Structure 1
Amino acid sequence: MNNVKQMDHKQLPSKQERHRLFGSVEPGPKQKPIEKNKMPDLQNLQKDFLFDIDAVGISNVKYPITVKSSLSPVSQTTIATFQFTSRIPKTSKGTNMSRFTEQLHLYHEKGFVADFHTLKVFTKDLAKRLNQDDATIALTFPWFYERRGPQSDMVGMNHATITMSVTFDALKGYSIQASLTASITTLCPCSKEISEYSAHNQRGHITMDIDFMDDFDEAGTDWKEMLLEAAESNASARLHPVLKRPDEKMVTEQAYENPRFVEDMVRLVAADLYELPFVSKFKVSCRNEESIHMHDAIATLSYNKLEPNS
């Protein structure tokens, strides 16, 4: 005997009736023009609107990009988060937001390579498209690179966070900035000094914000690798995606041999950035996630090589 209860069949109203049940109404009369050339353009309205606007545009735009690198993988695709802005004078009511994404998609169709040459051309084209004298693009993305275990040579992927920014100004030319945030290991010098044995360590995060010299030429210079090296080479130890026991022994011993405060980190990284010829000014920040405290430890250092006494 079949004891399976037969499911009752529910007779639902049509989809159109269900929409009406939940509040949909019939379209009302349409009286405004549908042709673009007949529509009013409020953003292009010209009057005295009281103040110039420093920057207006769009942000949090995600698009795929290609990143070139001197570290393996030498070419990779990743997702960038974009921001586009332009100044507007007080005589203009607003900007045309759709033109930002229109241009981004045109570049995407050609293959958007995240390098400063592409960003320079992009901002100049964007300013022309907006009928303005300037335009700025900024994009943030994860940059991946291979990292091998120091003893086992087993490979995995690490990543740093990159931000690139270019501003085109019809009178002043281009200004170029970049930022890299990398994670590292630091071991507490104080803990090592006062303890009979062992010392606590923490994961640190180094952020370097830099301005480039006006004559910076990207050809043959992977600034991403150089900033990454400035962060990692000054740490107690580097982070690794794959560590076997012989690797772990080497990494922990190296950290013990190279204790670092956050103050030490920003000063050591600053020294490396000072020696990079393409860097004009920089800001270095370190944040350590303390392993035996409830707080983080932080330090920041800024320096302008063009104004050393400022």
Structure 2
Amino acid sequence: MDKTKTIPKKQLPDKAQRHKLFGSVEPGPKTKPSKKSEMADLQNTQEDFLFDLDAVGIANVKHPITITSNLEPKTQTTIGTFKFSSGIEKASKGTNMSRFTEQLQSFHQNGFVIDLKTMKGFTKDLADRLKQKDADMEISFPWFYERRGPQSDLSGMNHANVTIHVHYDEEAGHSVDVSLSSLITTLCPCSKEISEYSAHNQRGEVTMTVSLTEDFDENKTDWKEMLLEAAESNASARLHPVLKRPDEKMVTEQAYENPRFVEDLTRLVAADLYEMPFVTKFSVHCRNEESIHLHDAIASVTYDKRQNEPLEG
């Protein structure tokens, strides 16, 4: 005899009744206009609102983008996180937030490749759309690049975090700041010096922010590649997504041959940035996640080549 129990199906109220059960009510009478032309426009209210505002806009806007690079893959699609803003004078109550996303969608429909020329055009058009004298655009995204094992030549994908900040001013024109953050390996010089054998190492992060010259030509120079090289070439060793044993031997020995304090790394990266002709100002921040301490080790430097005395060789 089949002793399987048959469980009766639960009888649920229909969806409208369920919504009512959980608090939904019928729409009330509509007394306010539904046509845009008849709606109050509070943002455009003109009065003395006490202060000019430096920036008003939207942030944490995620959107697909296309970026290009000298390194493989030379064209890639990634996700950008945007921030848009402009200043407003005290006579204006607010800005029209929808115009920021309208502008983004307009550029997306025409193929939004992230390069400095396009971003400069975006900020100028945005200022015109907002009827303001300035506009600001910042985008952050992961940039992927191919990295091969030093001995095996087996490839994989590394990535660095990139930020581009473009500001447009009706009188001063455009200014561009770019930032790249890369992970590297450092080996402790002190540990190498005092130990009978071996030395401790750690993963470090190098973050560089630079101001670009007005005549910088990204068709001739890939600033992402240049900043990445400044970080990695001055570290004890580079990071690799794929390492076979012969690769690991080479990387380990290279790190041992190139010990770096966090202070050393910061100064060496700064020296490379100082020598780049398209950089007018830079900051370098390095952080080592210490492997035998509970704390991190940090160092930083900021240098403006337009204001400071030239460095002596």
Structure-2-length-normalised TM-score: 0.98
- Cα drift, residue 309 of structure 1: 4.1
Query: Once the two structures are superposed, what CA deviation does each residue of 1:80-131 show, in whole Å capped at 9, x if it has no partner?
Result: 0000000000000000000000110111111111110000000000000000
- Cα drift, residue 216 of structure 1: 1.4
Tell me the residue number matched to 1:198: 198
- State percent identity of aligned pairs: 69
Q: Secondary structure at the match of 1:34?
A: coil
Counterpart Cα distance in 2 of 1:290 and 1:109? 46
Tell me the residue number matched to 1:136: 136
Equivalent residue pairs, number: 310
Counterpart Cα distance in 2 of 1:80 and 1:177? 16
Q: Secondary structure at the match of 1:127?
A: helix
Counterpart Cα distance in 2 of 1:121 and 1:215? 15
Tell me the residue number matched to 2:252: 252
Counterpart Cα distance in 1 of 2:44 and 2:249? 65
**2:146 is matched by which residue type in structure 1?**
E
**2:199 is matched by which residue type in structure 1?**
A
**1:8 is matched by which residue type in structure 2?**
P
Q: Secondary structure at the match of 1:19?
A: helix
Matches within 5 A, 1:1-310: 1-309=1-309
Query: Once the two structures are superposed, what CA deviation does each residue of 1:125-168 show, in whole Å capped at 9, x if it has no partner?
Result: 00000000110100000000000000000000000000001011
| RMSD (CA atoms) | 0.9
Q: Secondary structure at the match of 2:152?
A: coil
**1:188 is matched by which residue type in structure 2?**
C
Counterpart Cα distance in 2 of 1:215 and 1:307? 19
Counterpart Cα distance in 2 of 1:77 and 1:4? 55
- Cα drift, residue 3 of structure 1: 2.2
Counterpart Cα distance in 1 of 2:2 and 2:118? 71
Counterpart Cα distance in 1 of 2:23 and 2:80? 39
Which stretch of structure 1 is more off in the superposition, 25-34 or 7-16? 7-16
Counterpart Cα distance in 2 of 1:142 and 1:46? 42
Counterpart Cα distance in 2 of 1:112 and 1:3? 65
**1:253 is matched by which residue type in structure 2?**
E
Structure-1-length-normalised TM-score: 0.99
Counterpart Cα distance in 2 of 1:2 and 1:279? 82
**1:156 is matched by which residue type in structure 2?**
G
Q: Secondary structure at the match of 1:72?
A: coil
**Residue segments in structure 2 that go unaligned for 5+ positions in a row:** none
> Segments of 4+ in structure 1 off by > 4 A?
none
**Residue segments in structure 1 that go unaligned for 5+ positions in a row:** none
Q: Secondary structure at the match of 1:86?
A: strand
